[in-house]
Amino acid sequence: MIHHHPGEDLLLAYAAGAADEALSLIVSTHMSYCAICRLRGKKLDSLGGALLQELPPAPLGEGALDNVLARLDAVAPYERPIRVASRDGTPAPLRAYIGGDLSTVRWRKMGPRLSYAPLFKRGNVTAGLIKGVPGADSGVHSHHGSEFTVVLQGGFTDVTGNYGPGDLQMMEDGMSHNVVADPGEDCINLAVTTGPLKFESLLQRIAAPLFGF
């Protein structure tokens, strides 16, 4: 059961194609779990279709139709890519970035109870996976920029509530929290940050850049 959803503006940014790749990965990963947001997303796509239809047409160059007609025979009908059947609990949009499923992730130890696996970095925006054993805590930290998290396995709790698989958390610039992994199985999260994290503890402050935060 999903309790934490993206707001209308985040979903709109995804539907409009304005959200960047990392944020789109957050939204599409959440949607893989959440039927409610899939439906919300489809409606926003319909709004895109309606707006497109209402735009004043911009005429194409002369010969555009002939040009395309001449190319029709050369294009092969599209075939859906053959999927690697994986039902181990890895959302489809994420699999392409991991290059497999969650069991194939190569973790880097960040301490006795936390591990990290970077996915990609674009400018200031970083996407990666974080794993904590039950009871592990992140240390109190705040953010330069925002942090978006989707739980993939297990769960965590902080001052803002409890988060389980599929739940999406959004921490704004300047908000501070300490994330503690719930009892049970390891907690694995997809995390996107738009700026470096600010840790309160000196040791973490020194260590954070080494791990790509």
Partner 1 sequence: MLAHALRPSFSVFRPGPRRSAVVLRLPMKPEVLEMNALLGRVASERDRTAFAALFSHFAPRVKAYLLRQGAPASVAEDLAQEALLSLWRKAHLFDPAKASVGTWLFTIARNLRIDAIRREKRPELDPEDFMPDSAPAADEGLVQADDESRLRQALKDLPADQIQVVELSFFADKAHSQIATELGIPLGTVKSRLRLAMSRLKRALGDAE
The gap from C-alpha 103 to its chain's centroid, in whole angstroms, comes to 18
Q: Which residues pair with 190 in a beta bridge?
A: 129, 150
Nearer to partner 1, 136 or 167 (CB): 167
Q: Return d(Cα 178, Cα 171) in angstroms, integer.
A: 12
Nearer to partner 1, 71 or 112 (CB): 71
Applying the rule CB under 8 A, the residues between 173 and 212 that interact with partner 1 are 194
CB of 112 to partner 1, least distance (A): 30
Task: Please report whether residue 125 would count as binding partner 1 according to CB under 8 A.
Answer: yes
Q: Which residue from 82, 87, 159, 210 is in contact with partner 1, where contact means CB under 8 A?
A: 87
Nearer to partner 1, 15 or 136 (CB): 15
Q: Return d(Cα 171, Cα 147) in angstroms, integer.
A: 5
Nearer to partner 1, 107 or 120 (CB): 120
Task: Please report whether residue 126 would count as binding partner 1 according to CB under 8 A.
Answer: no
In this structure, the chain runs to a length of 213
Q: Which residue from 103, 162, 164, 172 is in contact with partner 1, where contact means CB under 8 A?
A: 172
Q: Per-residue string for binding with partner 1, 89-108, x by CB under 8 A?
A: x-xxxx-xx-----------
The answer to whether the beta carbons of residues 181 and 211 sit under 8 Å apart is no
**Residue-by-residue DSSP string for 52-114:** HHHSPP-PPPTTHHHHHHHHGGGSPPP-PPPP----SS--HHHHHHHTS-GGG---EE-SSSE
Q: Which residues pair with 108 in a beta bridge?
A: 116
Q: Which residue from 108, 151, 159, 170 is in contact with partner 1, where contact means CB under 8 A?
A: 170
Applying the rule CB under 8 A, the residues between 128 and 157 that interact with partner 1 are 145-146
Q: H or E element: which one contains 198?
A: strand 197-199
Q: H or E element: which one contains 23?
A: helix 21-33
Task: Please report whether residue 112 would count as binding partner 1 according to CB under 8 A.
Answer: no
- Taking contact as CB under 8 A, which single stretch among the options 8-16, 106-114, 136-144, 178-186 is the one that binds partner 1? 8-16
Applying the rule CB under 8 A, the residues between 23 and 82 that interact with partner 1 are 23-25, 28-29, 31-36, 38-43, 45-61, 64-65, 67-69, 71-72, 75-78, 80
Contacts of 95 (CB under 8 A, 6+ apart): 84, 86, 101
CB of 76 to partner 1, least distance (A): 7
The site that binds partner 1 (CB under 8 A) totals a number of residues, namely 84
